Amino acid sequence: MPIEDIHEFISELEKNGELKRVQTEVDSNLEIAEIMRREMYSDGPAILFENVKDYDMPVLGNAFGSMKRLEIGLEMTDFTEIGKRIADMTKMDVPSGLLNKIKKLPELSKMTASFPKSEVSGPVTEITSTDASFDDLPILKSWPNDAGQFITLGMVATKHPETGVRNLGVYRMQIVDKTHALMHWQKHKRGAHHGDISKDRGEKIPTAIIIGGEPATVFSSIAPVPEGLDKYLFAGITRKEGIKTVKCKTIDLDVPANAEIVLEGYVDPSDIRDEGPFGDHTGYYTPVEPYPTFTLTGIMRRKDPVYVTTVVGKPILEDAYIGKVIERSFLPLIQMFHPEVVDFSMPAAGWFQGFAIISIKKRYPGQAKKVMMGLWGMGQLSLTKMFVVVDEDINVHDINDVIWAITTRADAARDTTIINNAPTDTLDPASPLVNLGSKMGIDATQKTKEEGYNREIQQQVKVDDETKNLVDSKWSDYGL
């Protein structure tokens, strides 16, 4: 059975030696964040802080901060399975005739098993109140120059005002006072798009902030799923079983029934205030910028909730591991649109949105540029700053192999593509304007005559099979 909530996840982490409990009193103001960062930078465990100053609620940090922890939470070791399941669903033929329909039933039942299931109540409805306050939660201040406390791992639930398709996204939220926070949903994110539609209609948008939940739901909230795919369905596809949902009490939204805390309210697109600074995953403080205001109208929570949080800063921290799972899980979807793609990597040091390496099975001149342009047109990959395309013999996960390919197969003038006035990640500290800058593509594939390479292609140095087999057979005799 899939893991149902954070409490089960904590138990599994502890069983596998991936969690430590801290009983010493700790402060949510800077202290917890510094402990979490030190542990992440030294490949430490998840931490459950059981004695938080001024609060009776434990804080869970670094819960997704290793591949092992994500394998436990998502109950798989090959994360490409997730993308393969979506790809298989899109390729499913519509059966004709009774016999063919019967044959398809097992496949159809697998798909329907992933759909969310509406419940009347759940653990998160144990305590409900309209007298809600952010002051009741141990929300962290992470860096000394942060503008205040920030919710950093809140799953922000909205639905498309016209289609009703549900979305979950993780956007930081700066606490202003007991009932107001600033919603940092960047211009290119789906939540911001829902907000823009509501603004055009002169409406506020119902919004819920979900703290804690099934690991698959947390992952789904961060994953950049294809447009129009319900995030709750994506969570079910990830865990091979639909999640349970309940209705909010003060707004018309569904939320995971097994969550720890749900903060209900609305975002007012016309109530814009200055947000930031905040020490972000680029390793820099993002400057003060205007963002809309969230107003808290109610709370649902468990009797014994755990406050789940994360810290960001210069890589490599917890978000790097979640990003690696996203990279693996979306490879099959990239290959659906670009079948020449062999592998794909977004190194954590490039904060994922900054740099990507793609290997391809090259068949014709200019194919590397075709792949770059295609990927720059795909969803959140449109914000990727730099692409390097290499041949299939290069390991995209070995940066030394990639550097070798760049320096031996790319000519700076011929193989570098610069695109000006292109959309960039809001958090990019180098772009000349917020959300607008340039992109670079490097074609590090072996060039052909058609691509202007008129020299003889030099032969790679490789050991011959006879010598290789000889050394293999005598290796144990060398005493090495």
Q: Which of 230, 280, 343, 428 is catalytic?
A: 280
Q: Closest Cα to residue 85, out of 66, 110, 54, 102?
A: 110
| Residue type present at position 156 | V
Q: Closest Cα to residue 81, out of 266, 306, 358, 331?
A: 331
Pair 125, 300: CB distance under 8 Å? yes
CA–CA separation, 106 and 116 (whole Å): 19
Q: What are φ and ψ of residue 323, in 5° steps?
A: -60, -35
Q: What are φ and ψ of residue 442, in 5° steps?
A: -115, 120
CA–CA separation, 373 and 381 (whole Å): 10
The question of whether 27 is a catalytic residue gets the answer no
Non-local CB neighbours of 450 within 8 Å, separated by 6+ positions:
365
Non-local CB neighbours of 467 within 8 Å, separated by 6+ positions:
none
Non-local CB neighbours of 255 within 8 Å, separated by 6+ positions:
124, 157, 208, 210, 245, 246, 247, 248, 262, 300
Q: Closest Cα to residue 371, out of 331, 338, 325?
A: 338
Would you please indicate which residues are annotated as catalytic (active-site) residues?
280
